[in-house]
């Protein structure tokens, strides 16, 4: 049966249905909507798990729903710091202060951002404001100290670190940074004291143990350094630097075998560190295990092609193995990397001389002398090279320079005496041999050659006396000269 309704009745029915629909939709909307506080809580939670984009989105919603939510601005500032939106973070912290003028955390965090941006003076101003509100805000003292450090006010920085530790005696990080600052100020004992304080608070602080160990090494307390590195290794058996540095300390105690064992462990943990191979090569070289040292230096060079010291030390090994050409190649590479490497120049000269390239050797020694006029080895070696080229007078000049630098260099007197003898300056030769004997009283060769010089100068009696002395203190070959020059019966 079809029921008819007039238009007024239809309108009323429609309005009732529409009203019911609106009510249902409104109730549904209210049930699904979130408050500003809920978004704020979400933002905090997401910040805690380092979901910075998610935290930012939630906090934006919280602030949109409640534009005076001071905490939301503050937390959003922290999020922006982590997103490296430093300018945005400053705006949010400043807004926090607008609603909460005594919020020391907001001032402090503006200071931290300015410190990050290297606006050190601006950072100090913000930390000062935080400390005006709360004079016991120890974090602001620490960070203000860092800002002062940025302005090269190292003593001011130290004063602030000390204030931080005075307020909070358990402030481990402040003591550690105090140690770093004291090292910069070359207050080694003060630095070690600060690191020791860190370890009193936290005995398992690897970084403090490592720092203290390095200071102990500087103070030549190698056993103490080894103890600290050993403690680090107990805490973290995978700390390759602890093994490496413990090996270095053992080297200073001439314990090369044990040092090699530490370098082996460091390499096992971190096989891509060229310095580990280099140092192991040093210890093998010190033990004269040249065949083991060579591949270590080569490995270091393979990893770091411009490793100047590795080329130099590999050159030394080749020199010891009498591979003079190979040594020259390595020394030349070290010099190519660093033209001021005088040791490489010196040893390249030695290698050239060993190959009888005396002119090349003299060129290297002369280059050294131009850079360092007081390097006696360069003059000494150049003197020998000149002598080998029969330039006795040039050699005498170089040996004289060595003696001027070091009046107790017996070898220089001895070699100069030989060259003086060669140019028949017997008086000068006798004087130099006498000086050698004065420095080394039982030098049989000095007596022997002084005896020959005396005989050549006409002092046969004095010469024979010296030859007898040479035999007496062990130079058996002098007997032949005694027989031929002194008409003495010699028993062989």
pLDDT tens digit sequence for 49-92: 999 999 999 999 999 999 999 999 999 999 999 999 999 999 99
pLDDT at 491: 44
5 inside domain: no
Residue 24 is assigned to a structural domain of this protein = no
Q: 130-164, pLDDT tens digit by residue?
A: 999 999 999 999 999 999 999 999 999 999 999 99
Task: Report the number of distinct structural domains present in the chain.
Answer: 1
For residue 486, CA distances in Å to 62, 427, 431, 433, 455 come to 114, 20, 22, 20, 9
In-domain check, residue 57:
no
Reported as a single tens digit per residue, the pLDDT across 351-385 is: 999 999 999 999 999 999 999 877 899 999 999 99
Q: How many CB atoms lie within 10 A of CB 23?
A: 10
Is-contact 443 437, C-beta < 8 A? yes
What's the burial of 197, exposed, middle or buried (CB within 10 Å: 0-12/13-18/19+)?
buried
Residue 398, in any domain of the structure: no
Nearest 5°: phi and psi at 321? -85, 5
Q: Tokens 């035999």 identify what position?
A: 471
What's the token pair of residue 256?
């090369």
- 188 within some domain: no
Instruction: Let me know if residue 492 belongs to a domain.
Output: yes
Residue 34's pLDDT is 84
∠ CA 477-482-484 to the nearest 5 degrees?
105
70/36 Cα distance (integer angstroms): 12
**4-14 tens-digit pLDDT:** 333 333 323 32
Say which residue, 324 or 31, is predicted with more confidence. 324
Tokens 């070959």 label which residue?
477
CATH code of the domain covering residue 429: 1.25.40.10
Q: Rounded to whole angstroms, how far apart are CA atoms 309 and 251?
A: 17
| DSSP codes joined into one string, 59-120 | HHHHHHH-TT-HHHHHHHHHHHHHTT-HHHHHHHHHHHHHH-TT-HHHHHHHHHHHHHTT-H
Q: Which domain holds residue 418?
A: 409-492
pLDDT at 33: 61
| Residue for token pair 């973070």 | 89
| 470 belongs to a structural domain | yes
Residue 432 lies in a domain: yes
Question: How many whole angstroms separate alpha carbon 314 and alpha carbon 429?
Answer: 40
């Amino acid at each position: 049966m079809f029921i008819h309704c007039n238009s007024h009745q239809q309108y009323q029915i429609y309005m009732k249905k529409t009203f019911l629909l609106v009510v249902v939709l409104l109730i549904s909307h209210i049930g699904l909507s979130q408050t500003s506080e809920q978004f704020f809580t979400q933002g905090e939670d997401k910040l805690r798990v380092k979901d910075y984009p998610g935290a930012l989105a939630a906090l934006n919603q919280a602030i949109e729903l409640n534009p005076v939510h001071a905490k939301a601005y503050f937390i959003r500032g922290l999020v922006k710091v982590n997103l490296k939106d430093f300018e945005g973070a400053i705006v949010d912290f400043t807004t926090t202060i607008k609603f909460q003028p005594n919020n020391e955390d907001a001032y402090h965090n503006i200071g931290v951002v300015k410190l990050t941006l290297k606006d050190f003076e601006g950072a100090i101003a913000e930390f000062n404001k935080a400390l005006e509100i709360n004079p016991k805000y120890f974090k602001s003292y620490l960070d203000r100290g860092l800002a002062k450090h940025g302005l090269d006010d190292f003593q001011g920085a130290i004063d602030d670190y000390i204030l931080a530790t005075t307020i909070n005696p358990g402030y481990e990080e402040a003591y550690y940074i105090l140690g770093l600052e004291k090292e910069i100020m070359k207050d080694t004992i003060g630095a070690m004291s600060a690191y020791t304080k860190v370890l009193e608070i936290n005995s398992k602080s690897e970084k403090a143990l490592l720092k203290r160990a390095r200071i102990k090494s500087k103070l030549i307390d190698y056993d103490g350094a080894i103890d600290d590195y050993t403690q680090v290794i107990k805490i973290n058996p995978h700390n390759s630097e602890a093994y490496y540095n413990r090996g270095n300390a053992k080297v200073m105690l001439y314990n090369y075998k044990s040092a090699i064992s530490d370098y082996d462990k460091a390499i096992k943990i971190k096989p891509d560190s060229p310095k580990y191979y280099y140092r192991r090569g040093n210890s093998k070289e010190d033990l004269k295990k040249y065949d083991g040292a060579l591949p270590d230096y080569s490995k270091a060079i393979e990893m770091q092609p411009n490793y100047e010291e590795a080329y130099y030390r590999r050159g030394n090994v080749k020199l010891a193995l009498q591979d003079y050409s190979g040594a020259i190649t390595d020394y030349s590479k070290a010099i190519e990397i660093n033209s001021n490497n005088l040791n490489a120049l010196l040893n390249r000269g030695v290698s050239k001389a060993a190959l009888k390239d005396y002119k090349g050797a003299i060129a290297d020694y002369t280059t050294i002398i131009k850079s360092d006029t007081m390097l006696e080895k360069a003059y000494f070696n150049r003197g020998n090279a000149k002598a080998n080229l029969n330039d006795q007078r040039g050699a005498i000049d170089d040996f004289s320079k060595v003696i001027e630098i070091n009046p107790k260099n017996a070898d220089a007197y001895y070699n100069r005496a030989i060259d003086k003898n060669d140019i028949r300056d017997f008086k000068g030769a006798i004087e130099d041999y006498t000086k050698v004997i004065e420095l080394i009283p039982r030098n049989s060769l000095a007596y022997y050659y002084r005896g020959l010089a005396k005989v050549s100068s006409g002092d046969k009696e004095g010469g024979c006396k010296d030859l007898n002395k040479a035999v007496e203190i062990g130079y058996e070959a002098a007997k032949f000269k005694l027989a031929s020059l002194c008409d003495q019966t010699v028993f062989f």
